[in-house]
Amino acid sequence: MSFVSRFSLGLVTLAVVLSQAARAEEVQVAVAANFTAPMQEIAAEFEKHTGHKAILSFGSTGKFYTQIVNDAPFEVFLAADDTTPAKLEKEQHTVAGSRFTYAIGTLVLWSAKEDFVDDNGDVLKGTFAHLAIANPKTAPYGTAAIEALTKLGLKDALEAKIVQGENIAQAHQFISSGNAELGFVALSQVYKDGKITGGSAWIVPAELHEPIRQDAVILTKGRDNPAASALADYLKGGKATAIIKSYGYGL
C-alpha cells in the first residue's frame, strides 16, 4: 500500500472515530441492587462497543419508583420486578413500547460459612441467631423471601430472627460480614460461571415464590437520548445476554 493510500485510510479511520465520539452520549440508569455485578460488566462492554457511557445508580426498586415519580434524572430503569415498570408505564413515566424482560431472577439461601447451608434448606429449622432479607416493602427479592418462608410454614417461627436490609445488597452485606449467619439473596450475588463463589447455598425452588421477572424500561427523560435506546437494544443482544446468564439469571 502506498503512502498516499495509507494516509487516506488513516484519515478515514480518524474521521470515523471522531464521528463516533461526537455522537457519544451519557445515559443515567437506575439499576436494581441484585443486578449490580452483571450491569457493571455490561456497561463497560456497552461503552466499548457504542461509545455511549452508562452512569449507574444501584438501589431498591421501590425507592427508585419513588424517586422517578418525583422527577429524578433517570433515563433507563432496570427493576427487580415487572410490576413496578408496568406501574410507571401506566402512569405515563415511560416511553411507550419500551418495556421488556431482561432477566429472570433466582432466590437463594446463602451463608458466608462453608457447609452451613445444606442442599435442602433444612438449616432454617436449626439453630441460628439472625436471618437476613431485603425489605419486602421495597425489594422484590425480599417479597420472594417472605413468600418462600410462608410456603415452608416457617415465617412465624423465624420472624424474631429476621433482620432487614434496605435492599438486597445490604442483606448480602449483613451475611458476608457475619452479622447474620445466613439469609436470602439473589443468586447473582454469590454465583459466577456455573458455581457458587464462596460460602454455602441452597437455591430456593421456583414454586415457593412468584416468578422474579425483572423488566427494563426507557423513562420519559430518556426519550430523546440515543444512548438510552442504544442501551435497551444492547441489553437484548448476545454479548449482554451471555453476561446475564453467567450470573445465574434466566432469560
CA-to-CA distance for 194 and 186, rounded, in angstroms?
Answer: 15
In what helix (H) or strand (E) does residue 225 lie, and over which residues does it extend?
none
Enter the pTM of the model. Answer: 0.85
For 16-67, what is each residue's pLDDT tens digit? 444 444 478 999 999 999 999 999 999 999 999 999 999 999 999 999 999 9
Q: What does the block give as the cell for 11?
A: 484519515
- Smallest CA-to-CA distance from 113 within 163, 169, 181 is with 181
Domains of the chain, first to last? 24-104+212-246 (3.40.190.10), 105-208 (3.40.190.10)
Task: List, for the chain, all residue ranges whose pLDDT scores fall below the cut of 50.
Answer: 3-4, 7, 11-22
**Residue 21 pLDDT:** 45
- Strand segments, DSSP code E, in the chain are 26-32, 53-59, 76-78, 100-105, 107-111, 131-134, 162-165, 182-186, 191-192, 195-196, 200-203, 212-218
| Closest to 165 in 3D by CA, of 201, 144, 141, 193 | 141
In the chain, count H helices and then E strands. 9, 12
Q: What is the pLDDT of residue 12?
A: 44
pLDDT at 10: 52
pLDDT of residue 24: 84
